[in-house]
Structure 1
Amino acid sequence: MTEGEDIDLLAAEYALGTLDAAERAAVAARRQREPALDAAISAWEARLAPMLDEVTPVAPPARLFPAIDAALDAPGPDGSELDRVRRRLGRWRAAAVASAALAACLAGVLLMRETVLAPAPESQTFVAVFHDGDTQPRFLLSVDLESRELTIRPVTAEPVENRTYQLWIVGEGISPVPRSLGLVEDVSGATRKRLEQYDPALLRRATFGISVEPAGGSPTGRPTGPALHGTLIPAGD
């Protein structure tokens, strides 16, 4: 573990499937020799697994794959064209499996957000997932209410030329309108913010937002560009 690394956030990314292949392989290797990381991943997998039972699987029509196989076995204009079709089919099947897995993970996160009604657990770490519709998450945010440190990490978000991402907070007892928490300085890694001025109970109920703003931040003190929103859910039992 590196200094300042958020083990629970890394475990959440691993369990949600938001790491790329190289990162996932590295974490899988690390969990074999780091008991704390392995325990955090197992805890996330245990929390998500029951929620995935609520997602009803949808099977493709029974005739679909036999029809595709029959079409592939039929004579084609030339071998190279058949090879291209087979390659496209392989990519299509891989994409379908990946999309199904991602949809299941996102459904689990949404179910967590909608059904968690119990008081805050002993663990003071909470997370929020920022995604646009049914797409893969754009950002993952975690807040340690005990230290009042916020960490925001891009998942699929990319730098936008001549623009910047800005973080906001709004909520009862904090501000009736979005209040800036500063810029997301690092779109390739983690950005951390200190929230000492906010009461932990108010942070727990707050709504966070990330908007796209001109370079240097919003000129009005309010979000001016497209924004994503998220609320906190417990990250531990």
Structure 2
Amino acid sequence: MSDRDDKDMLAAEFVLGTLDRDERDRVHRQRQHDSELEQRIGEWESRLAPLADEIQDLTPGPDLLPLIQQRIKAIEDAARGDTASDAPPSTASVTPLHRRLAFWKAATGLSSAAAVILAAVLLAQPSPSTSESNFVAVFQQDDRQPAFMLSVNLEQRRLHVRPVSAEPLPDRSYQLWIKHDDLGSAPRSVGVLDDDLSLDQAALRDYEPELLKHATFGISVEPPGGSPTGQPTGPAIHGYLYPTEPSGGQRL
């Protein structure tokens, strides 16, 4: 993926509100002297603004926010070693909860982070650097913030894996899989993500574009170096490719 594509993705995340505070501050500073980034941010704001007119207002119950805040407080207390908290999860879960809460506020009116990003992808207007060969998949579970985004150029058979909320795991590896009837009943490994959660951009070079367009992709958590069995052994999240232009045709 080119620097131009990376900048466009960064602008989209900035507008969607999926960046944490430090990342958002960095983008805010960068846009002051980066005219291309400023233009991209403006384009994404224009693309997403009409979505709000199509969504009916939904008022949450009065007890929802206090319950969320109570749960976050319980996690923070547990992280500080307060034994009075119930079922303390790991310290690492505190920051994602705060980030998710901020994202819910930013994405009011849409049911999940995937809905926001997918709507943006499907409604995005063409730019000079895009073509009908460009597709994107979002990997998330339930209504959680997306863990990864996968972009694929079918013409060049090149991919780009971008972590959104996912972070490197100690003593674990992420592995990308592809599944299609033409490949048999079992998923096939595309590759193990590197320490920086990237993957060889040519990993899909042996697959036909039409197969890629209709395949199911998955990312699983595996032992270091990847699955020892040749099949997914850990928790997995799945995604499908969607065109980045309306003219590219939607997946049925």
TM norm structure 1: 0.68
Q: Which has the higher strand share?
A: 1
Per-residue CA deviation, residues 19-43 of structure 1 (Å, 9 max, x unaligned), is 2222223333434444443444444
TM norm structure 2: 0.65
Q: Counterpart in 2 of 1:124?
A: 133
Find the aligned partners of 2:116 and 2:64 in 1 and give their Cα distance: 28
Q: Counterpart in 2 of 1:139?
A: 148
Number of positions where the alignment pairs a residue of Structure 1 with one of Structure 2: 203
Q: Is the 8 A contact 2:219 2:238 kept in 1?
A: yes
Query: How large is the RMSD of aligned CA atoms in angstroms?
Result: 3.6
Q: Counterpart in 1 of 2:106?
A: 101
Structure 1 position 208, deviation (Å): 1.0
Deviates more, 1:211-220 or 1:151-160: 151-160
Say which SS state the counterpart of residue 26 (structure 2) adopts: helix
1:10 aligned onto 2:15: no
Q: Counterpart in 2 of 1:27?
A: 27
Change (3 A) 1:63 1:133: closer
Structure 1 position 199, deviation (Å): 1.9
1:178 aligned onto 2:183: no
> Which structure 1 residue ranges, 5 or more long, are not aligned?
66-92
Find the aligned partners of 2:219 and 2:47 in 1 and give their Cα distance: 26
Find the aligned partners of 2:232 and 2:242 in 1 and give their Cα distance: 24
Change (3 A) 1:216 1:62: closer
> Which structure 2 residue ranges, 5 or more long, are not aligned?
66-97, 124-129, 247-252
Change (3 A) 1:29 1:125: farther
Find the aligned partners of 1:63 and 1:159 in 2 and give their Cα distance: 35
Find the aligned partners of 1:64 and 1:170 in 2 and give their Cα distance: 39
Say which SS state the counterpart of residue 160 (structure 1) adopts: coil
Whose radius of gyration is greater, 1 or 2? 1
Structure 1 position 97, deviation (Å): 5.6
Find the aligned partners of 1:163 and 1:130 in 2 and give their Cα distance: 18
Find the aligned partners of 1:199 and 1:236 in 2 and give their Cα distance: 20
1:193 aligned onto 2:190: no
Structure 1 position 181, deviation (Å): 0.8
Structure 1 position 196, deviation (Å): 1.7
Say which SS state the counterpart of residue 216 (structure 1) adopts: coil
Q: Counterpart in 1 of 2:170?
A: 161
| One-letter amino acid of the counterpart of residue 152, structure 1 | V
